[in-house]
Chains A and B, each alone.
Chain A
Amino acid sequence: MSTVLPAAPERPLPTPTRESQPYWDGMREGRFMLQQCASCGKVRHYPRPVCPHCFSMESNFKEAPLGGAIHTWTVCHHPFNFFFKAQAPYIVALVDMDAGVRINAQLRGIAEADLRIGQRVTLAFEPVTQEITLPFFTP
């Protein structure tokens, strides 16, 4: 009797948009690129067409520093998406980046009991396909 193995669950991947493409291009190059208003200079994330501060539609992407401090976190045990079943439990930290935006990413290399608000972490890059690189944090 033959057994049909279920296909491995597919990793959910981002679909870059016309607004966000430079962010994902940066990830692939190992650079943390954030959108900056060409008129008033304010940084915004996630990428969008209009600056909510001065309504300018002109913007550039600028490389930002990789450091930040933990704002909060969760430890995911139940894999709502089957792809993550093998990784669970995993920590997702929400980090106040030094550039003034927040980034959510998995935090690796730290015990759950050692997590604190305000703790310094560093953004790192994990290529997952030829096109897509995802961020993660290290202590």
Chain B
Amino acid sequence: MAHALRDKAAISGIGETEYTRGTTKSGLALQLEASLKAIDDAGLSPREIDGIIPYFPGGGIAEDFVANLGLPDLTLSAFIPMGGATCVAAIQTAAMAVATGVCKNVLISVGRTGYSGARVSTRLQQFPQFALAAEFELPIGLFAPAQLYAQGARRHMQLYGTTARQFAEVAVVTRNHAILNGNVVMNKPLTVEEHHASRMISDPFRLFDCSLESDGGAAIVVSASDRAKSLKKPLVTVMGVAEGHPESPASIAQRPDLLEFGLVKAAARGYEMAGVGPADMDLAEIYDCFTFTVINQLEILGFCQKGEGGPFVMDGRIALGGALPVNTHGGLLSQGHVVGLNHVIELTRQLRGEAGRAQVKDAEMGLVTGYGDMGDGSLAILRRAA
């Protein structure tokens, strides 16, 4: 029997601001600007939004949306405190809300001044989930994600022979995709040599292995599929969606396997709900806080065996025109860092056939992941309705 939520919810609207390094706007203003665009894209009035799931901390809270959009009757206000896994996991909560009739249209949004406002180490100290890292690891000089995740990457290299050349391939392919998009922070080509020459941040991560600190906003609207059919844009439904939490969720150090995290559980549930597998995907938008993180997730998602993610990304396989185009918009590495909501937007755009020069021919089904908060994971499988 099909899962009760399969295809019951749709991504009905998408919106994003310009992605920049430098802005005078507040995170809240960026979030609202993207939200108004997403609501308009869905063909809705702001008054029709009755569920709010903002990325938190940072940007606004539900009260700000009521005050700015004059929402007459909000029926759901929720936070999903999963760091980079938040946006895709929020689709699960939104889908549950619209499928049960609790909400009609749920707005998921991010507003971020990651370049012009507080930087990552400062932001993370607001996260209760980072309390253990702050007590036991910050004092010895380990706290930023680039440092915490570097240890897993280093272990993968030692165990499986994964190379900096393979990391560079992810960075270069992602950059090539960004250049096709237009609304990106990094719009100049990147070579493997430039990647290798970039300064070391936390071994094995060099500067071009790390995602951007950028300014911007992004938003999507999730509506019930039977309602969304009558809206403005082609219908893109949520076939499968899941969140997963790893063992030792607030401490990477104590996790039995540093290379297995919440996505292991989310992927199993997401594929089962959708009734499909990795071979059915026309493309994948993978949360790319670091180049290695893409390699690691491709393994967990079943596109290749554990330890084979490095060779998998080579030879054009993840580039447009390859067997599995990945991060066709430029991702967090080259487009901008809005906590992966830009990945959901790009997948929706691809499935609508609106991806312009980066369009994957005849894209009908794809997946998008979230990864963050030291190992929480989330997966959504979207498809174009027949």
Contact = CB atoms under 8 A, between A and B. Distances in A.
B141 interface: yes
Contacts of B254: 45-46, 101-102
A13 interface: yes
B251 A46 contact: yes
Contacts, number: 102
Interface in A96-115: 101-106, 112
Contact of A46 (B132, B141, B154): B132
Interface stretch (A1-9, A58-66, A70-78): A70-78
A51 interface: no
Given A92-B147, A112-B203, A84 B141 contact: yes
Contacts of A84: 141
Contact of B203 (A75, A80, A106, A136): A75
A41 to B, nearest CB: 18
Given A72-B258, A75-B203, A14 B151 contact: no
Contacts of B233: none
Contacts of A11: 139
B292 to A, nearest CB: 12
B154 A92 contact: no
Interface in B150-195: 150-152, 154-155, 158-159
Interface in B32-91: none
Nearest to B150: A74
B158 A117 contact: yes
Contacts of B132: 46
B63 to A, nearest CB: 30
Given A94-B151, A103-B253, A72 B139 contact: no
Given A71-B155, A75-B200, A75-B203, A80 B140 contact: no
A106 B141 contact: yes
Given A76-B147, A94-B253, A103-B253, A81 B135 contact: no
A20 B154 CA distance: 29
Interface string B133-145: 0111111111110
A107 B254 CA distance: 18
A90 interface: yes
A134 interface: yes
Contacts of B204: 74
B121 interface: yes
B170 to A, nearest CB: 19
A43 to B, nearest CB: 11
A45 B250 CA distance: 12
A104 B258 CA distance: 13
Interface in B195-233: 199-204
Interface string A1-38: 00000000001111111001000000000000000000
A136 B147 CA distance: 17
Please indicate which of the listed interface residues B121, B138, B203 has the most CB atoms of chain A within 10 Å of its own CB.
Answer: B203
Contacts of B144: 80
Nearest to B148: A74
A104 B203 contact: no
A14 to B, nearest CB: 5
A138 interface: no
Contacts of B139: 11-14, 128, 132, 134
B323 interface: no
B382 interface: no
Nearest to B135: A14
Contacts of B137: 104
A67 interface: no
B279 to A, nearest CB: 32
A102 B201 CA distance: 24
Contact of A78 (B202, B251, B258): B202
Contact of B202 (A71, A74, A102): A74
B138 A81 contact: yes
B102 interface: no
A76 to B, nearest CB: 5
14 contacts: A16-B135, A20-B135, A72-B152, A72-B154, A72-B158, A76-B142, A78-B200, A81-B121, A81-B141, A89-B200, A92-B140, A103-B253, A116-B158, A117-B158
Q: Ordered nearest first, which 9 A-B pairs have the shortest CB separation? A: A74-B150, A72-B155, A75-B203, A80-B144, A77-B200, A80-B121, A78-B201, A72-B151, A84-B141
Interface of B: 120-121, 132, 134-144, 146-147, 150-152, 154-155, 158-159, 199-204, 251, 253-254, 258
